[in-house]
Amino acid sequence: MNSMKLKKIIKNNEIKNFDFSNKELKDLDFSNLKLTNVLFENSKLEKCNFDNTILNSCSFKNAELKKCRFRKAKFAWTDLRYAEIESTTFEDSRINYCDFYRTVFSKTIIFRKSRIANTSFYYTQFNDGVTIKKDNLVNSKIVQEHKEKYKIFLTQWAKNGPGLRKNDQDTISDWNIKKSLNARWPDAEDIYKNLNGLWTSNGNLSDANWAFVKGKKMERKRLIKEIKNKETDFSAKIKKSLTAGWNFTKDVLFGYGESIKKMMLTYIITVFLFAYIYYASQSISITDYTLALKISLKNMVAISSEETLKASPFLDFLNMVQTTIGILITGIFGFILGNKIRNQ
Closest by CA to 307, choosing from 275, 339, 335, 344, is 275
Residues of the chain with pLDDT under 70: 160-175, 282-286, 307-311, 343-344
CA pair distance 115, 206, nearest whole angstrom: 19
Q: Residue 167: in which H helix or E strand, if any? A: none
254-263: per-residue pLDDT in tens? Answer: 999 888 899 9
Q: Is 340 left (phi over 0), alpha (psi -120 to 50) or beta?
A: alpha
Q: Any idea which fold 3-181 has?
A: Pectate Lyase C-like (2.160.20)
CA pair distance 33, 51, nearest whole angstrom: 9
* 217 backbone dihedrals φ, ψ, rounded to 5°: -70, -40
Provide the 10 A C-beta neighbour count for residue 159. 8
Radius of gyration of the chain (CA): 28
pTM of the predicted structure, to 2 decimals: 0.85
The set of residues, in sequence order, having a beta carbon less than 8 Å from that of 163 and lying 6+ positions away, is 172, 173, 175
Identity at 30, one-letter amino acid code: F
Residues in the chain: 344
265-317: per-residue pLDDT in tens? Answer: 999 999 999 888 888 776 666 677 888 888 888 888 888 777 666 667 777 78
Q: Residue 130: in which H helix or E strand, if any? A: none
CA pair distance 63, 258, nearest whole angstrom: 40
